[in-house]
Every structure is written in C-alpha cells, then in structure tokens.
C-alpha cells in the first residue's frame, strides 16, 4: 500500500510535536509535563525506526526528519527546562551582575545535541553501539533530575554553578569519543553481554529514587562506560 511509506515519518512527526509541546511546558515552568512529553517523544522515536525497518520503507528524508525531531525533543526541550529553572534560582552574590544572561547558557546543550545527531548520521561506527552520550539519555537525565530534585535544587545556594557546569559537561559528553554500548542483544549469553547485564542489574535500585531514577540510571550508564571503555 502506498500509505505505508508515510507511516514512519508520521511517527517521527509525532516525536517532533511531543518535543515542541515539551518546550512549551518547559518555558511555563511545568516541568513534570515537559518531562512526560519528552518521554512520549522517546517512545515515538523508538517506534519510527522500528516501523521503517519492518515496512522496508527507510528513506534519506526519514533520516533527516528523525534528526530534526530528536533535536527538538532531546535538545531544545531539556535546554528550555534548564533555561526556565535558571531564571527561578537564587544566584550567589558574585554572579548577580550576569544573572540576566546566564540562563541562555542552557541552549548550548541544544547546539551540541544537533552536532551529536549530525555526527551520528555520518559515523559508521555507531551501527551497533554509540560514540558519545545519546541525546535521549541526556534529555532524560536533566528532566529527571529537575523534577525529582526540584526542592533540593531550589534550596542550594550554589545550584546555579552545578547546573552551569553540568550543562558544559554533558554538552561535551554528547560529542566525546566515549564508547557506550547499546542495549541490543544478538544473543543472551553472559559472555557476549556481561556489561549490559551488569548495567541492567545496577538499574534496579535506581527505581527506588522515584522521579530521579532516570538521572541515576544515566549516571550509572556513563560511569560503566568509563570503567569499561572497550567493552561493547
């Protein structure tokens, strides 16, 4: 059927729309709703590629559209969350003169997310694993952290500094030459997949952290990659 070739791109557009709505909620300080829309976008992002492969209708347009949608949902939306948050926080006295401008640093992450997606499209090494932090993982880290630890962030005098440094660190991780395994299993044997099984086991206690669970899982994911940089 002719219509089937439009199905994956329609799902990708749903991802983009989810990201746009998440950005709207983020600018209005509705962080929980923003994170829910980012998660919904991640669901659409998972199924658009799968649908394209199942229907055998992959196309160059779909690939470009997917990157655009991902930068909105996993680049712009989390940047908007941090932009709004940085407007709410108390600033140390020495940062007050530049307080008006510092929230815009959040959008550096959107730019690095776009760069990471462009590199991914051209890098043939990333067919079965990742080089650099995937944009959905970055978005889920920040969304989960802000929603789960909002009161703590608000109460800490130096939260602004930690967030600004975190933006720079995670922007670097997006494009760093850091090997990260993908959760793809060609077999179920321990020998072939032991880093993935260790990761999954380590994720279990993270769910006890409530809204912060995704942030903890992403930190565990990156730490495991640093400890075992050559394991895939």
Domains of the chain plus CATH, in order, are 2-142+160-178 (1.20.120.1760)
- In the predicted model, what is the mean pLDDT of residues 223-231? 74
Q: How confident is the model at residue 49 (pLDDT cuts 50, 70, 90)?
A: confident
Closest CA to 74 of 124, 103, 35: 35
pLDDT tens, position by position, 28-42: 999 999 999 999 999
pLDDT of residue 127: 61
Q: Over pLDDT 70: what percentage of the chain? A: 94
User: How much is the pLDDT for 232?
Assistant: 44
- Is 190 exposed, middle or buried, given 0-12, 13-18 or 19+ CB atoms closer than 10 A? exposed
CA atoms 219, 220, 226, 231: torsion sign? negative
Residue 62 pLDDT level (bands cut at 50, 70, 90) = confident
Place of tokens 């991914």: 120
pTM, whole model, 2 decimals?
0.89
pLDDT of residue 128: 64
Tokens of 201: 């086991």
Rounded Cα gap, residues 7 and 154, in angstroms: 43
Of the candidates 125, 150, 143, 198, the one whose C-alpha atom is nearest the C-alpha of residue 22 is 143
> CA 97, 103, 107: angle at the middle one, nearest 5?
140
- Tell me how many helices (H) and strands (E) the chain has: 10, 2
């Amino acid at each position: 059927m002719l219509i089937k070739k439009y199905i994956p791109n329609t799902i990708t557009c749903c991802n983009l729309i989810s990201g746009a709505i998440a950005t709207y909620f983020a600018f209005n300080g509705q962080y929980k709703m923003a994170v829910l829309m980012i998660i919904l976008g991640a669901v659409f992002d998972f199924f658009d590629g799968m649908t394209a492969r199942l229907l055998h209708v992959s196309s160059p347009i779909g690939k470009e559209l997917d990157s655009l949608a991902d930068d909105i949902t996993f680049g712009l939306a989390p940047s908007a969350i941090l932009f709004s948050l940085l407007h709410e926080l108390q600033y140390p006295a020495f940062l007050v003169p530049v307080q008006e401008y510092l929230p815009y640093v959040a959008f550096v992450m959107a730019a690095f997310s776009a760069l990471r997606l462009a590199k991914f499209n051209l890098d043939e090494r990333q067919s079965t694993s990742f080089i650099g932090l995937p944009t959905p993982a970055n978005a889920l880290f920040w969304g989960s952290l802000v929603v789960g630890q909002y009161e703590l962030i608000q109460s800490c005098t130096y939260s602004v500094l930690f967030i600004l440094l975190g933006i720079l660190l995670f922007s670097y991780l997006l494009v760093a030459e850091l090997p990260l395994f993908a959760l793809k299993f060609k077999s179920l044997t321990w020998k072939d997949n032991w880093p993935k099984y260790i990761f999954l086991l380590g994720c279990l206690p993270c769910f006890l952290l409530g809204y912060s669970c995704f942030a903890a899982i992403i930190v565990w994911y990156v730490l495991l990659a640093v400890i075992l940089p050559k394991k895939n």
